[in-house]
Amino acid sequence: MNTVPEGWRQIPRLSPFNAPVGPLNSRGIESDVRIQRIGARLAFVDCYLVAGGVRIVRASAIFARSEKE
């Protein structure tokens, strides 16, 4: 049985990445994205998930920039 707790919503499975885990539920956690540095070919970014004004998770990513920019 797959029930979603009150005050939560189920996150749809949009890719094969989250298909093996879950179901995933969300309660509307806030996100805060910070661009650390943008270079000629790469962009470095941090993303924080915030709950109750407290950062609870940090994720970092490096993106390759498009030549069309």
User: Do strands 24-26 and 30-38 pair parallel, antiparallel, or not at all (unpaired)?
Assistant: unpaired
Q: What angle do CA 20, 48, 6 make, to 5 degrees?
A: 60
Domain membership flag for residue 60: yes
Domain membership flag for residue 4: no
Tokens of 58: 């940090």
Domain membership flag for residue 2: no
Instruction: Give me the number of domains the chain comprises.
Output: 1
Domain membership flag for residue 57: yes
Q: How far apart (Å, rounded) are the C-alpha atoms in residues 44 and 60?
A: 8
Nearest in space to 29 (alpha carbons), one of 61, 58, 62, 63: 58
Domain membership flag for residue 20: yes
The whole domain housing 29 covers: 9-64
The pLDDT, as a whole number, for residue 25 is 84
Q: How far apart (Å, rounded) are the C-alpha atoms in residues 4 and 51?
A: 20
pLDDT one-digit tens code per residue, 18-36: 778 877 888 888 899 999 9
Domain membership flag for residue 69: no
Domain membership flag for residue 3: no
The pLDDT, as a whole number, for residue 63 is 94
